[in-house]
Amino acid sequence: MIIERKEYLNKLITWKDKQLIKIVTGVRRCGKSVLLKMYQDYLKNNGVKESQIVTINFEDLDYEELTNYKKLYNYLKEKLIPNKMTYIFLDEIQNVDQFPKVLDSLYIKDNVDIYVTGSNAYMLSSEIATMISGRYIQIEMLPLSFKKYMESTGNMNDRGIKYTEYLQNSSFPYALQLKNQLDEIRDYLEGIYNTIVVKDIVHRKNITDTMMLKSILKFVFDNIGNPLSSKKFQIQ
């Protein structure tokens, strides 16, 4: 089930062929990869040839060798077509060590249009923003709004019931395919949560006490809307 995200697709279309790196950020599983696929379909439907599109998803083991930034750059450089625009899509680029060097090198070349996605914890870090400062625009993607959720279910009536479903099922696009199976949805959301905590926070900040981090997060979630102070956290 593919949910069309026109508001984000139109932003990519607006920036097409502009000499800026397009960075799509957002929480994991909010639909970034699907958005890039939709945009690629748009390009093909508007005269862009398949050979002009280069797509790499760094969560795919087939591309593990390209997580080395020098190998990635050499690979992409060979794919460039002289005197024609080449559209490069790099999905989950935070898996590439020193990836800003690759983006910088591609940016200065003619006829290259670059699109990348990544998790917020990496792409929004101050050091990366500094390295590619002035060379990119950010498109921040969110999970489904309530309006989009209703449109995707094919029923714009009974808003009260739909809003309850929206809160129970979550706003993540894939949860719609689970069709109100609350146990399965809960397991799916827990998987996303653990991935964010372990991959994004623990690895990036080199946190050694994962259980303590999870306890703090649980406390924060239980106190949403209340003033918080570090003094409230008592480490045993």
Answer yes or no: are the C-beta atoms of 167 and 24 closer than 8 Å: no
pLDDT digits (tens, 9 = 90+) for 152-172: 887 777 888 889 889 988 999
Residue whose structure tokens are 């209340």: 226
Q: Do 177 and 153 form a contact (C-beta atoms < 8 A)? A: no
Q: Give 95-135 pLDDT, tens digit per residue.
A: 898 898 999 999 999 999 999 998 766 665 655 677 787 88
pTM for the whole structure: 0.85
- Where does the pLDDT of residue 12 fall: very low under 50, low under 70, confident under 90, or very high at 90 and above? very high
The C-alpha atoms of residue 172 and residue 182 are separated, in whole angstroms, by: 14
Which pLDDT band holds residue 212 (cuts at 50, 70, 90)? confident
How many CA atoms does the CB half-sphere of 5 hold within 13 Å? 26
Does position 25 have pLDDT exceeding 70, yes or no?
A: yes
CATH 3.40.50.300 for the 6-140 domain, yes or no: yes
The pLDDT tens digits of the residues spanning 51-100 come to: 999 999 998 999 999 999 999 999 999 999 999 999 999 998 888 988 98
Q: 38-45: which pairs have CB atoms within 8 A and are 24 or more residues apart? A: 38/2, 38/4, 38/5, 38/9, 39/9, 39/12, 39/13, 39/115, 40/87, 40/89, 42/9, 42/13, 43/16, 43/87
d(CA 193, CA 204) in angstroms, rounded, equals 16
Q: Where do the CATH 3.40.50.300 domains begin and end in the chain? A: 6-140
Output the CA–CA distances (angstroms, integers) from residue 182 to 85, 121, 187, 212, 228, in the order listed.
46, 28, 9, 28, 31
